[in-house]
Amino acid sequence: MTDKPPPRDRLKEILESGKKASPRSKTESEVDGGEGKCEAFGYLRGLRDTSASVELRFRDGNSTWFNYGLLGSWQYNPSEGLLLKFSGDVVSLVLIRGSNLDKPLTEGAINLTHAGLQRHRVLWIREMSKEEIERVGETGPTIDSIEVGEFASYEDRLEWLKKKAPGFVCETV
């Protein structure tokens, strides 16, 4: 047992004496808070920070936002890309193609898939120019294209996937 007073008594002593409490030490996630980015995506640095939505930035300057609350299943297939399914009034499929999509950044604490999208820390994902992709090379993730499809029926989704990314189609007998 230690000689320290319990937290409630310590707070009472501080309040009665008019002194300010000493600042608590900051954890790694608090120190590293804020935003980080690479060429392909931006993310929240704090390990417990989450975003309400993810922005898709297209090469033509347009953007689309999707609420993480609508994100259902998603799949990663290195030969096809990353397929996100958002369900709202209609089902939206987002097909992200690129390379090294699951590769950790140089800081090692985040990647696009597991530590990024899965934990809702990715703020934006952007299509990169050919020059940017060449500059990054194999050192990090690159985004070649982002395609969004909106569907009212399962049949329409299946047909789109067969054309765009057949590796994500599971044929049942």
Q: Does residue 69 sit in helix, strand or coil? A: helix
Residues in the chain, overall count: 173
For residue 169, pLDDT over 60 is answered with: yes
Q: Which amino acid is at 5?
A: P
CA distance 143 to 48: 26
Model confidence pLDDT, tens digit, residues 121-138? 999 999 999 999 999 998
Q: Sheet containing 35-37: give its strands across.
A: 35-37, 41-44, 122-126, 53-57, 63-67
pLDDT tier at 21, thresholds 50, 70, 90: very low
Strand partners, 145: 97
| pLDDT over threshold 90, residue 153 | yes
- Flag whether pLDDT at 162 surpasses 80: yes
Rg from Cα positions in the chain: 22
| Mean predicted lDDT score pLDDT of the chain | 85
Tens of pLDDT, residue by residue over 96-120, are: 999 999 999 876 678 999 889 999 9
- Give the position of tokens 């993310």: 43
Per-residue pLDDT, 15: 61
If you ran DSSP here, which 8-state letter would residue 62 be given?
A: -
Cβ atoms of 143 and 59 within 8 Å: the answer is: no
